[in-house]
Each structure stands twice: as C-alpha cells, then as structure tokens.
Amino acid sequence: GDSVTQMEGPVTLSEEAFLTINCTYTATGYPSLFWYVQYPGEGLQLLLKATKADDKGSNKGFEATYRKETTSFHLEKGSVQVSDSAVYFCALSDLYGGSQGNLIFGKGTKLSVKP
Amino acid sequence: EPEVTQTPSHQVTQMGQEVILRCVPISNHLYFYWYRQILGQKVEFLVSFYNNEISEKSEIFDDQFSVERPDGSNFTLKIRSTKLEDSAMYFCASSPDRGRVNEQFFGPGTRLTVL
C-alpha cells in the first residue's frame, strides 16, 4: 500500500541555519504531496503542497519539490527561526491509488531551533 | 478565515465508557474525516464521510466507532466502549472536494485520555 517515510527527529538547529527534512513516498497512483506543521499545543496546518512532478510548493520561506524520479518531497528552508520550532509531517493523497484520497502521513519530525 | 473547530479540547474518561467527540467543519465543505495520533506516533486515518454516509474506513475503525452528522453543522465521532489504547489525539478535518489535490483542513484536535 501507499506509505510515507520521513527522517526521524528530533532535529536541533541554531537560528539562521539551513534546514532539510527528507521525505520519500511509495504510491500506487499519482499522488498529491503535502507538508503539514504542528506547532506546540495546536492542530495540523497545511504548510505547502505539490500536485505533479517537478512542482515546487512554497510558503513562509519553506520549499519542497515533487521529484517523481526519486519519489521524494524534501522540505527545505534557507534560514530557520526560533518560531519554526514545531513538528513537521510529510503526507500524500492518492485519490486513484492506495489511499483513495485519504491522507497518509509520515511519522513526523520534531524541529527545535535555538537562539 | 473559516476554520474547523473541535470540542472538547481534552476529554478524560474511564475504560468502558462511551465518549462523543464533536467537530464543526468549515461550512461549505462536503467531505469530512477523522484521524488519530497516538502519542509519539504518526497521524492515522480513521474514517471519511460524504453525503451522510461513510466513504472509507480504516482497519482501526471497528464496531466500537461510529460517526454521525446529526445536523447541518456538527460531525461527531463516538467510541462506544473506550479502551486504554484509544487514548490519543483525535483530529477532525474537512475538504471542499475530493479531487486529486484533496487539500484537507484540520481542527485543533481533542486529546482523549482513557483511564
């Protein structure tokens, strides 16, 4: 079935450091890909999305590119801030494939940014 | 900006008791979902609901679970006889359609603690 694998955390960075969180997926169809963020004590918020190969999703300085050839959707940010401290989830929706449109999530990666 | 709301934010119950978790999806959305996140684990799909009936359900969603849309605004998840392993964060989500993109909007979650 469909699945998402993302790098285990926690990740601890200093402010202004470069961030990469790896995400790879397995899907039977042609999925849409998402990154969700969960700030402490809050629910899941959509951070960015991409729906087809080579699309780049971007928001709040974060970027991720849909790479079909490597089945990856790595999250990057050039300069993290303390306020970026949160748990980041990679997810896919594969409407005509294994997930039938329901979101399948990775395990989440906790990011802590120190001043 | 419209948002998904959930009540209560935290529910404590005794094993074997029934609980009802409530959600108010975004008003013009048509598809509704419940997910759960056991502490430290990934977010897992439970059930999707459309046109007043269940669209899909996961293996987790057994006979102890039920969903209902009792009126035009609320969407509820009932657990008939709670077990210790039902302790988790439960997220409601809604989406306006079910196309390839299937962007889902999440509520803040209800933390269920079964003692």
Neighbour count for residue B70 (Cβ, 10 Å): 9
Query: Which residues, 6+ apart, have CB-to-CB distance to B72 below 8 Å?
Result: none
- Mean pLDDT, to the nearest integer, of A46-72? 96
Name the residue of chain A whose CA is nearest to B38's CA. Answer: A107
Whole-angstrom Cα distance, residue B88 to residue B101? Answer: 27
- CA gap B46, B33 in Å, rounded: 7
CA dihedral B39, B40, B43, B44 (to 10 degrees): -70
Do residue B45 and residue A95 have CB atoms under 8 angstroms apart? no
Give the closest-approach CA distance of B25 to chain A in angstroms. Answer: 14
Nearest CA of chain B to the CA of A35: how many Å?
A: 11
Which of residues A110 and A9 earns the better pLDDT score? A110
Chain B environment of A49 (Cβ under 8 Å): 101, 103
Q: How far apart are CA B92 and CA A15, in angstroms?
A: 33
Residue A75: pLDDT band (50, 70, 90) is very high
- Which residue of chain A has the CA closest to B94? A102
- pLDDT confidence band for B65 (50 / 70 / 90): very high
The partner residue sitting opposite B56, judged by closest CB among A49, A102, A105, is: A102
Q: Can you tell me the mean pLDDT for B23-46?
A: 92
The pLDDT, as a whole number, for residue A98 is: 61
Mean pLDDT on B57-63: 93
Pairs of residues, one from chain A and one from chain B, whose beta carbons lie less than 8 Å apart: 66
Question: What is the residue-averaged pLDDT of chain A?
Answer: 92
Cα separations (Å) of B108 from A44, A111, B93, B102? 7, 20, 10, 19
pLDDT digits (tens, 9 = 90+) for A88-108: 999 998 877 666 678 999 999
What is the predicted pLDDT for the residue at B2? 80
Residue B33 has pLDDT above 80, yes or no: yes
Q: Which residues from B are below 8 Å from A96, CB to CB?
A: 100
- Span A36-62, mean pLDDT? 92
Return the DSSP state at B105.
Answer: E
| pLDDT tens by residue, B76-113 | 999 999 999 999 999 999 998 776 567 889 999 999 99
- DSSP annotation of A38: E
Task: Look at A93 and B101 and tell me if their CB atoms are within 8 Å.
Answer: yes
Mean pLDDT for B16-39 is 94
pLDDT at site A100 = 66
Query: Is residue A53 within 8 angstroms of chain B, CB to CB?
Result: no
pLDDT value for B62:
93
Q: Inter-chain contact A95–B107, Cβ cutoff 8 Å?
A: no
